[in-house]
Amino acid sequence: MGRGKVYLVGAGPGDPGLITLKAMECLAGADVVVYDFLANPALLSLAGPEAELVYVGKQASDHTLSQEDINRLIVDLARAGKVVVRLKGGDPFVFGRGGEEAEDLARAGLDFEVVPGVTSAIAVPAYAGIPLTHRSLASGVGIITGHEDPTKAASALDWEKIATGLGTLVFLMGVKNLASITERLIGAGRDPATPAALIRWGTTPNQVTLVSNLGDITAVARERNFQPPAVLVVGEVVNLRPALNWYERLPLFGRCIMVTRTRSQASRLSRTLSAFGARVIECPTIRLAPPEDWGPVDRVIHRLSDFDWLVLTSPNGVDFFFERLRVNGTDARSLAGVKLAAIGPATAERLASFGLRADLVPDEYVAEDLVRSMKEIGVNNRRILAARAAEARDVLPRELRAAGAKVTVVALYQTLTPEGLTPGAEEALSRGEIDLVTFTSSSTVNNLVRLLGDRLTDFRVRVTSACIGPITARTAREAGLKVAAEAERYTIDGLVDAILNYFRRQA
């Protein structure tokens, strides 16, 4: 058994892009991840597939484990020889009780490291357009807990010094005690007209910012039923928000978009939409699987020199094809003398990752345009291998054969329907939160329709869709779905542009 070790890791304030490189390395090497309520669940995907995930989140009046039990858990795991990541929202040493956990580990004689995180005290105001310091407005900052240890006989805070000694005050976990905090500050000399802001779920697409003044903010928060978790900022710097509020002005901020691509393909689309402020729900409606029989693929691999052209119709097809070359003990050299056609730039880019350049990429990225482009070159008596998904449309081989080509079709993979919707999609659907769903192929449409089942009627009414091209859009309309946006360029970038244009028209 190896010697255990605990990494006390700051997960950052909510935006998964704010996690540090060191934290990512720790997650990748963890045997166990013990994580909090405020740690973004998206970060858990950075852990290895064999890592055990243990939730110990604590919310007001709802503690999965007490702090003492959490301390005992990470000590026991380390003693058992595990590499443990204790993933904590924000920074572990800024009101994260990381100091207490480190003390217990030190007393037990166990190895540990502290990996600082971006604290919400700084990041959340920044995402609300509120700088904590400003040359003309604030030369000092105080970061204060809004929830002191309830077992202490008296407050450890010197309210008179806090109230008037610093330009900007930031209170963490202060919503529950908001009335007490504002009363104490005003009673200790802070002007009730001082600008104040509450920021809930800061740095995430669910961010909500409430601006008032110190004297009124409690009443306004109560009126709007403002709930934790939130950060309270008090100071003249709050007045800079109208000019500096960059995040909530992103074009997709406040929009909830469901991405239906396969899990391996969703990341680029999801990242791009998130960068424009959207809340992205990944719900793969396609599960890729090998063909039922590799025999036809293996047979053509052993006679690739017989073909004039190899046609590949998706990046997935490229991956499956080259993996099968490897299994058969060969590589790209077996394609010497064979011309390569790719249905679009994404497929051509994937070919390039294997050191090969596509000889033909049509202007429009659909089978019909690929056929047209090949016919212009001349396909009569040409031997063409079309390697693609088992469920692909028949347009390509039918039209090429009609033009005199000798076409062999092999299935490199199957596109299957997953067993169900992801939990995140289930929850967002039940709450009616999804504004738009993206479709990148007819299969994504058809499979989502099957997965929705009895909920399809309500989905048709509530949710609009964005489609990567006319074929996919036609499939969506035939399924009774509303198509709000259709990409003019049949690429991920084209799809994102169509989505942005649609929501600009809605503004």
What local confidence, expressed as pLDDT, does residue 146 receive? Answer: 81
Contacts of 15 (CB under 8 A, 6+ apart): 40, 123, 127, 203, 204
DSSP sequence for 77-145: HHHTT-EEEEEESB-TTSSSSHHHHHHHHHHTT-EEEEE----HHHHHHHHTT--S-BTTTBS-EEEEE
235 in Cβ contact with 211 (< 8 Å):
no
- Which one of 31, 36, 91, 435 is the catalytic residue? 36
What local confidence, expressed as pLDDT, does residue 197 receive? Answer: 98
| CATH for 289-416, options being 3.40.50.1220, 1.10.287.610, 3.40.50.10090, 3.60.20.10 | 3.40.50.10090
SS3 per-residue string spanning 23-43? HHHHHHCCCEEEECCCCCHHH
What local confidence, expressed as pLDDT, does residue 115 receive? Answer: 97
What local confidence, expressed as pLDDT, does residue 368 receive? Answer: 84
What local confidence, expressed as pLDDT, does residue 189 receive? Answer: 95
**36 in active site:** yes
11 in Cβ contact with 61 (< 8 Å):
no
**173 in active site:** yes
Architecture of the structural domain at 122-249 = 2-Layer Sandwich (3.30)
Residue located via tokens 């939130």 = 230
Give the separation between CA 253 and CA 151, rounded to whole angstroms.
41
- Which one of 58, 176, 339, 406 is the catalytic residue? 58
Q: What is the pLDDT of residues 398-412, one digit of tens each?
A: 999 999 999 999 999
What local confidence, expressed as pLDDT, does residue 262 receive? Answer: 78
What local confidence, expressed as pLDDT, does residue 60 receive? Answer: 53
Residue located via tokens 């109230």 = 163
Q: Which of 383, 389, 387, 421 shows the shortest CA–CA distance to 401?
A: 383
Domain ranges, ordered by start, for the chain: 5-118, 122-249, 256-286+418-506, 289-416
User: Identical fold at 256-286+418-506 and 289-416?
Assistant: yes
Divide the 507 residues of the chain into consecutive groups of 10 and give the mean pLDDT of each group.
Answer: 87 92 96 86 87 81 77 94 95 93 95 96 97 92 79 73 92 91 95 97 94 97 94 97 97 95 79 94 91 95 95 92 95 93 90 94 81 90 93 87 94 91 89 94 93 92 94 95 93 94 90
**58 in active site:** yes
Interior angle at CA 19, CA 263 and CA 57, nearest 5: 85
Residue 138: left (phi > 0), alpha (psi -120 to 50), or beta?
beta
- Three-state DSSP class for 7? strand
Q: Taking the domain 5-118, which CATH number applies?
A: 3.40.1010.10
Q: What is the pLDDT of residues 341-397, one digit of tens each?
A: 998 888 999 999 999 999 999 877 777 888 889 999 999 999 999 999 888 888 889
What local confidence, expressed as pLDDT, does residue 267 receive? Answer: 81
| CATH for 256-286+418-506, options being 3.30.110.40, 3.40.50.10090, 3.20.20.150, 1.10.260.40 | 3.40.50.10090
- Which one of 104, 173, 319, 374 is the catalytic residue? 173
Residue located via tokens 């669910």 = 206
